Amino acid sequence: MKMRNIVLMESSVIITEGLQKIINETPELKVQKVYRSYPQVVGRSGADILVVNPKLLREEELDKLFQDWKRENDELVILALHTDYTSAMVLKMFDNVIERDDNVSAILNKLRTTRSKNTDKGSSQSCELSAREKDVLRLVAKGLTNKEIADELNLSIHTVITHRKNITSKTNIKSISGLTIYAMLNKLIQQ
C-alpha cells in the first residue's frame, strides 16, 4: 500500500496534535507538515492530501489555494477541517469534510477513501451541466446580467433564467461568487 503524505493547515495546536496522533498511528498515512496560516502554505507541495480549516482563509485565498495546488497536482485531495460554522457553499468546494465530531474511524476512512474531484470524472458535477448551461455559467462568471447573457447567446431572458435555476439546482450554489469559483475549479473559464 502506497504511503500518502498529508499536510495540515490549522491554527489550533490541540486539533493538529490530535490529528497527527491519529494519522501517524496508521501505517499508510503520514503527516508531512503542519502550517498554522495560509501564507506559510503558499508555494509548498509534495502532499497527497491537504487538510485545511476553511476559517483560516479569506475567499480569494481559498480560491487561490485550490487553483495553485490543484494545478500543481491534479490528484491532490483537499479536505475541509470543519471546526466552526462554514457555509455549505464553501464546504462543497472540498473533496470531503472532516467534521469536528467525527470519530477516529470516520476520520481515517475519509483520509483513505477520498479521491480528488478533478481526477474522479464520474463524480464531477460539471458533467451534469448541459453545454448551454456551461455557456450560461461562463457568462455569469464573467459578470454579465441575464439580459446581456440572453443577447450574447441569442436566447430569451426567460430561457437564461431557467438555465440559471438549473445550474443552481445541479451545483447547489446560489451566489455568483460561488458559481465563479465552481466554474474556475471545473476549468470552464480561463483565469
Question: What is the pLDDT tens value at each position of the chain, 191 positions in all?
Answer: 678 899 899 999 999 999 999 999 999 999 999 988 876 665 556 788 989 999 988 877 887 777 777 777 778 888 999 988 888 878 888 889 999 889 999 999 999 887 666 544 444 344 478 889 999 999 999 999 999 999 999 999 999 998 998 888 888 888 888 888 888 888 888 75
Q: Which residues are CB-contacts of 11 (< 8 A; sequence separation ≥ 6)?
A: 36, 37, 53, 56
Which residues of the chain are in CATH 3.40.50.2300 domains? 4-120
To the nearest 10°, the Cα dihedral for 99, 36, 51, 175?
70
Q: How far is Cα 168 from Cα 90, in angstroms, rounded to an integer?
A: 14
CATH topology of domain 4-120: Rossmann fold (3.40.50)
User: How many alpha carbons lie under 13 Å from residue 43 in its C-beta half-sphere?
Assistant: 2
What are 113's three cell numbers? 477513501
CATH topology of domain 124-185: Arc Repressor Mutant, subunit A (1.10.10)
Which residues of the chain are in CATH 1.10.10.10 domains? 124-185
* Length reported for the chain: 191
What are 125's three cell numbers? 458535477
